[in-house]
Amino acid sequence: MKIAFFSTQSYDREYFTRYNTGHELLFLEAPLNEHTITLATGCKAVCAFVNDTLNAAVIKGLAEAGIRLIAMRSAGYNNVDLAAAAAHQISVVRVPAYSPHAVAEHAVALICTLNRKTHKAYNRVREGNFSLEKLTGFDLYGKTIGVIGTGKIGEVFCEIMKGFGCRVLAFDLVANRTLEAKGIEYLPLVKLLPQCDIISLHCPLTEQTRHIINADTIVMMKTGVMLINTSRGALIDTGAVIQALKTGQIRYLGIDVYEQEEKLFFHNLSEEIIQDDDIMRLMSFPNVLVTSHQGFFTDEALTQIAQTTLQNINDFEAGKQLVNKVV
């Protein structure tokens, strides 16, 4: 089958070529949007990623270009208009689980870096500055961690934080029995927020969770809280978080995702004038750490993403049941 891969980087080309089982792979650097649909002409499937646009207009255009399958090479699919895909009889598949450890471990990396300031220490020492001034951190042992969303990634994250000797509280629509058996306590959000030293977001972006972190929920948090987001940028109201960083209500922020990331992340903009004032303001805080959606970025996860996506495509071509079907 001929498949158009949008928004590809060198690592996409490397891993998909390595595990390809005879498909014709058309690797495109362009993102998928209203202006790039025609690049998929002649293909039966498109393979897209988290910041591609798959709204109703794009899906209509893809259907007209002969596309029958949208293969997301991601777990999240909040950028896909599922109703439009169903209306045009386009199947949508995804990679439901690819190393939840990769993302959970990255969330922990953000916590440890913000806390112990290893990024600053690295630069200082290289310049011959061996001073410890302003590098004070805190013990994670004994601290209370709030986890919002305890699915595959949230579960691994809870277990790692238990390993540090933290008290772990959780909020989810459905309690995870395995975690409860390990002593993780489920609480309503309003009861969880005031108790936590660190809050980490691991729920998907839905209408219910959009801006779950906003001015109203931030005031419920402990003064000096650390907030970590490796899920989706729009879980956070960026303006409200900037205000809370200015007052010190939020003392540390670690984000691997950002509300307006599609114009920024995965690109080298080091010679550009960045127009997004919110990200520039965030990066000006000494207690904010931004990574550009690299939580998934391990060898194990890239292997799993390529293998599962290609298997989804093989199954579609063979007319088999699509186990990872979203629509």
Minimum distance from residue 171 beta carbon to ligand NAI (Å): 6
CA distance 155 to 110: 17
Please count the helices (runs of H) and the strands (runs of E) in the chain: 12, 12
Strand runs labelled E in the chain: 2-5, 24-27, 45-48, 69-72, 91-93, 144-148, 167-171, 185-186, 198-201, 225-229, 250-255, 288-290
224 closest CA partner among 255, 247, 257: 247
Q: Is 35 a catalytic residue?
A: no
How many Cα atoms sit within 13 Å of 289 on the Cβ side? 24
Interface residues with ligand NAI (CB under 6 A) are 75-76, 97, 100, 103, 148-154, 171-174, 202-206, 208-209, 230-232, 256-257, 293, 295-296
Minimum distance from residue 310 beta carbon to ligand NAI (Å): 19
Note whether 170 and 147 are within 8 A (CB). yes
202 closest CA partner among 256, 165, 244: 256
Minimum distance from residue 293 beta carbon to ligand NAI (Å): 5
166 closest CA partner among 188, 194, 138: 138
Strand partners, 215: none
Give 61 or 149: the residue with its C-beta nearer to ligand NAI: 149
Give 117 or 152: the residue with its C-beta nearer to ligand NAI: 152
Count of residues for the chain?
327
Place of tokens 């209306």: 87
Minimum distance from residue 147 beta carbon to ligand NAI (Å): 10
Which tokens hold the place of 146?
């709030």
Minimum distance from residue 291 beta carbon to ligand NAI (Å): 9
- Residue 152: helix, strand or coil by DSSP? helix
The phi, psi pair for 204, rounded to 5°, reads -75, 165
Which tokens hold the place of 85?
């895909």
Give 65 or 97: the residue with its C-beta nearer to ligand NAI: 97
Minimum distance from residue 151 beta carbon to ligand NAI (Å): 2
Give 36 or 230: the residue with its C-beta nearer to ligand NAI: 230
Give 296 or 316: the residue with its C-beta nearer to ligand NAI: 296
Helix 118-126 to helix 100-116 angle, to the nearest 10 degrees? Answer: 60
Which tokens hold the place of 35?
């202006």
Q: Is 261 a catalytic residue?
A: yes
Question: Which one of 155, 232, 259, 262 is the catalytic residue?
Answer: 232
Question: Which one of 261, 267, 271, 272 is the catalytic residue?
Answer: 261
Give 143 or 152: the residue with its C-beta nearer to ligand NAI: 152
By annotation, the residues acting in catalysis are 232, 261, 293
